[in-house]
Amino acid sequence: MSLESLKSLFRPELEELSAYRVPPRPPEVKLDANESPWPLTPEARARLASVMHATDINRYPDGRATELREALAWALGGSTDEYVLGSGSDELIALLATAMCQPRDGAERPAVVYPDPTFVMYGITSRAHGWKPIGVPLDERWDLDADAMAETIERERPNLVYYATPNNPTGNCFSREKVEALVDAFPDTLHVIDEAYGAYSGQSYATLCEERAQCALLGTLSKVGFAGIRVGWVRLDEALSAELEKVRQPFNLNTASQVVARLALTDLAPLLETQITSIVAERERLAAELDRHGALHCFPSDANFLLVRYTGDVEELCRALLDREIAVRQFKHGNSRLRSCVRITIGTPEENQRLVEALGDILG
């Protein structure tokens, strides 16, 4: 049958994967996707509207996103040519998998190493591109197991190593000296440091990236109020970014996203800083409230979410919260250490209060 023979043309690795789906109707309090809870202020919206009004959308976008690159270099450092831009940092993860896929001598497939648990797209994207994904368990405090990482990198000779710091879903930053030691010990591997939540930790590896060609920084606007425009970037040595540019679709960032992202990095930066400060304060307040319940334990977080261990039935807890129009993230698959946990994004003070009251109601 022809459908069967067409299906046989798909990559066999896709058998192990399922499509990423989100519920069609979000509940009133959405604390499951690590977005910023804050909508833009009326003034910021008016500013965006006037900039969009002056934009010609009958033309293709600027394929180089010149002004956005300039804003990135101005806000985050480096030269404009060090940045490769994508539709969210997800696209950059895919571009790295497409471009850097040459297996090492004697290996059948390129390999990628990352700590486990971590952001799921490193594993999903590498599988979908025919790479060998290797997760290295984090230690009992969710920090890097530096010896196990080093042994694995030595043995597997990966093309790429990912470190999300702060890490999703554990929320903590990895020990800086461990990351730096691994970057220095393996100069023939590209070490991608994912700073998606860096705004909430106040830490950055920009200096390390400037000093080491084997170090790249991944960034995004998704966690600081602009998930809807899908803008991310990777900053890496110009010789490497030039190669990555060759596999980027010429118009991958649409005009509206470029314009809004540029404003986010420049004129709206002070507003974002205020929102970030309030989310960090709420994170500490919410953690203290949740820790009052004997059944809950919050792990320390440097991000805009909390990983919370629950001693009861996690499925039932999530259902009870959803009945009260509150969504949090549950982990049904993947690392077994997460089965007893939920990940809770920090909301507005009102949303967090609603969560606190709902938990009081459910847990007593």
C-alpha distance from residue 190 to each of 64, 94, 137 (Å):
24, 15, 20
Q: Which of 152, 168, 275, 330 binds ligand PLP (CB under 6 A)?
A: 168
Using CB under 6 A, which of the segments 85-93, 209-217, 246-254, 353-361 binds ligand PLP?
85-93
Distance CA 255, CA 276 (A): 26
220 is a site residue for ligand PLP (CB under 6 A) = yes
Asked if 257 interacts with ligand PLP (CB under 6 A), we say no
Among 179, 196, 263, 279, binds ligand PLP (CB under 6 A): 196
> Is residue 115 involved in binding ligand PLP (CB under 6 A)?
no
194 lies in the binding site for ligand PLP (CB under 6 A): yes
Indicate whether 89 belongs to the interface with ligand PLP (CB under 6 A): yes
298 in Cβ contact with 343 (< 8 Å): no
Say whether residue 125 binds ligand PLP (CB under 6 A): no
User: Which of 83, 119, 142, 200: binder of ligand PLP (CB under 6 A)?
Assistant: 119
* Nearest distance in Å: CB 196, ligand PLP: 4
Residue 68 touches ligand PLP, criterion: CB under 6 A: no
Residue 289 makes contact with ligand PLP by CB under 6 A: no
How many residues bind ligand PLP (CB under 6 A)? The answer is: 13
On the CB side of 57, CA atoms within 13 Å amount to: 11
Q: Please, what is the minimum distance in Å from the beta carbon of residue 62 to ligand PLP?
A: 20
Residue 34 is a binding residue for ligand PLP (CB under 6 A): yes
Q: Point out which residues bind ligand PLP (CB under 6 A).
A: 34, 88-90, 119, 164, 168, 194, 196, 220, 222, 227, 232
